Amino acid sequence: MIEGLLPYAEYKESGQEWLGVTPAHWKIHKAGQIGLLLKGSGGSKADDVTEGLPCVRYGQLYTKYRGFIHEPKGFIRLSHLSRYTAIQYGDVLFAASGEKVAEIGKSAVNLIRTAAVCGGDIIILRPRMEVCAPFLGYALDSYGSASQKATMCRGSTIKHIYPDELRLLVVPLPPPDEQAAIVRFLDHANPKIDGFIRAKRKLIALLGEQKQAIIHRAVTRGLDANVPLKPSGIAWLGAIPRHWEVRKIKSLVSSYGGMTPSKADAGFWEGSIPWVSPKDMKVREISDSIDHISIGAIRQTGIALVQPPAVLIVVRGMILARTFPTAITAVPVTINQDMKALVTKACLNANYFVSLLTGIQSDLLLLVEIAGHGTCCLRTDSWEGFCVPIPPLAEQEEIEAYLNEKLSFQNTAITRTHREIALMQEYRTRLTADVVTGKLDVREAAMRLPDLPTEGTTSEDLAPDEANDLDETASED
């Protein structure tokens, strides 16, 4: 649908270095000219209920929405209405704080037509001029707007943005009918992109299932199909090679807990020691992380500095409802309070231990309990007392070498597919930026597109790409 798209016939200088030229008939506005900027207020997540008055919280702008709010993801009781800020159709909601500069001021336009409210730490842009509300959803969450907001943030660890800065946010605006054409075009393009990404994620899931089956077989039965077996005495495990042992995990490792220093104390976070949280558990080997802690913080707080190789597991968080992530350290690390570091004893190869935990993760997930506020939890006595099959050390190394070779196809395919997804996400980002800034003229293309079946198809209210499956630390008020 992008074939034949061309630039506009006539351009003018925008006066903005990041923007360059814009179509001659477009106008350049600042957010403060488009509408009023208001601060949201409201109670905490303790007010949330399953039904009631729709409520948007600032953390949801990072985790639940991508530019648009069609359907509420949370509710409060009507009796709490006076404690919250009412929002209207067409209001643009900005997250006023966050941990990442690149995402500060993450925004979404409210397209809920019924009464709704927002919580605190949100800035509201309420348009006073004629605009197409979904266009603001695309424009204010586009690459150009995000880049501007990144320069407006304040703070070292927790980043903040304020209405005074957002008033200066530059937005190129075409006439309202052209805004609608741009929305029409992008509303058709995004479902196609989303469909491609879904298909690729399904492929990754299938490849993951193949890997899981191969690993499970290797770590529970070994490599020799003719080896004599014996009953393991464990219902989920069944028979194992006769020369293997069954050991409790606590007899195989030394464990270390984690903690999280205050994000408000910048002195803790000015060092070179990687600090690992569940969101970093997306790779098998941890050699770095986004945040780094200082040696002074380690001395002051008594945080354990875990030397490599250590196996990291997650013991608390909603990720445990879906998977049991594990990783091995290649450098000294510290970990947050939702994790454990397991240092293997001489009888256990650390890399093999990662494979073992990966292979039996479905059985480990049966140990997960629901703690307070619905959080998933893996109690220490549960995982420490869990029995696992252990071959001799030399055989562990043989199995690990076999798995590295046997899984090379799946690993390569998964890496390639992740890259294809990333490229498609980059394509979406660039296409949206080019269209909302007038680098491409989509008016004729939009006219040729069929009507969408219903309102509310814009980006399908998908959560941000990559879904943040392992990022359980996204803040919400």
Average pLDDT in the 349-354 region? 97
Instruction: Using the structure block, give the residue that is written with the tokens 């601060």.
Output: 39
Average pLDDT in the 158-173 region? 93
- Let me know whether 235 and 333 are in one domain: yes
Average pLDDT in the 386-411 region? 97
Give a yes or no: residue 466 inside a domain: no
- Let me know whether 243 and 378 are in one domain: yes
Distance of CA 119 to the CA centre of its chain: 21
pLDDT of res. 469: 40
pLDDT at 339 over 80: yes
pLDDT at 409 over 70: yes
Describe the strand order of the beta sheet including 273-276 as a list of residue ranges. Answer: 291-293, 273-276, 334-335
pLDDT digits over 213-229, tens only?
A: 999 999 999 999 999 99
pLDDT of res. 263: 66
pLDDT confidence band for 269 (50 / 70 / 90) = confident
CB-CB contact of 260 with 475 (8 Å): no
pLDDT at 474 over 50: no
Give a yes or no: residue 373 inside a domain: yes
Give a yes or no: residue 283 inside a domain: yes
Of 9-23, 41-55, 289-303, 380-394, the range with the lowest mean pLDDT is: 289-303
Hey, what are 109's tokens?
Answer: 């336009």
- Let me know whether 237 and 90 are in one domain: no
- Let me know whether 89 and 184 are in one domain: yes
Considering only CA atoms, which of 358, 380, 361 is closest in space to residue 371? 380
- Let me know whether 341 and 431 are in one domain: no
Of 65-74, 260-269, 331-340, the range with the lowest mean pLDDT is: 260-269
pLDDT of res. 454: 62
pLDDT at 34 over 80: yes
Q: 289 or 162, which is more confident?
A: 162
**CATH of residue 346:** 3.90.220.20
pLDDT digits over 277-305, tens only?
A: 998 998 899 988 878 888 777 777 778 88
- Let me know whether 176 and 277 are in one domain: no
pLDDT of res. 471: 37
pLDDT confidence band for 264 (50 / 70 / 90) = low
pLDDT of res. 265: 67
- Work out the mean pLDDT of the chain and round it to a whole number: 90
pLDDT digits over 99-135, tens only?
A: 777 778 999 999 999 999 999 999 999 999 999 999 9
pLDDT at 348 over 60: yes
- Let me know whether 120 and 247 are in one domain: no
Which residue range is the domain that position 227 belongs to?
Answer: 223-390
- Let me know whether 349 and 430 are in one domain: no
Work out whether strand 291-293 and strand 159-160 pair parallel, antiparallel, or are unpaired. Answer: unpaired
The 8-class DSSP code of residue 438 comes to T
pLDDT digits over 367-387, tens only?
A: 999 887 678 999 999 999 999
- Let me know whether 126 and 263 are in one domain: no
pLDDT of res. 429: 95
87-to-39, 441, 457 alpha-carbon distances in Å:
11, 33, 21
Considering only CA atoms, which of 110, 95, 106 is closest in space to residue 145? 106
Helix 393-406 with 350-359: angle, nearest 10 deg: 60
pLDDT of res. 4: 79
Average pLDDT in the 438-453 region? 92
Hey, what are 434's tokens?
Answer: 């080019």
Give a yes or no: residue 138 inside a domain: yes
Give a yes or no: residue 401 inside a domain: no
Give a yes or no: residue 4 inside a domain: no
Cross-strand partners of 273: 293
Give a yes or no: residue 161 inside a domain: yes
What number of other Cβ atoms are within 10 A of residue 147's Cβ?
12
- Let me know whether 25 and 171 are in one domain: yes
- Let me know whether 247 and 170 are in one domain: no
- Give the chain's domain count: 2
CB-CB contact of 43 with 58 (8 Å): no
pLDDT at 252 over 90: yes
- Let me know whether 250 and 165 are in one domain: no
Of 55-64, 270-279, 413-422, the range with the lowest mean pLDDT is: 270-279
Q: 188 or 465, which is more confident?
A: 188
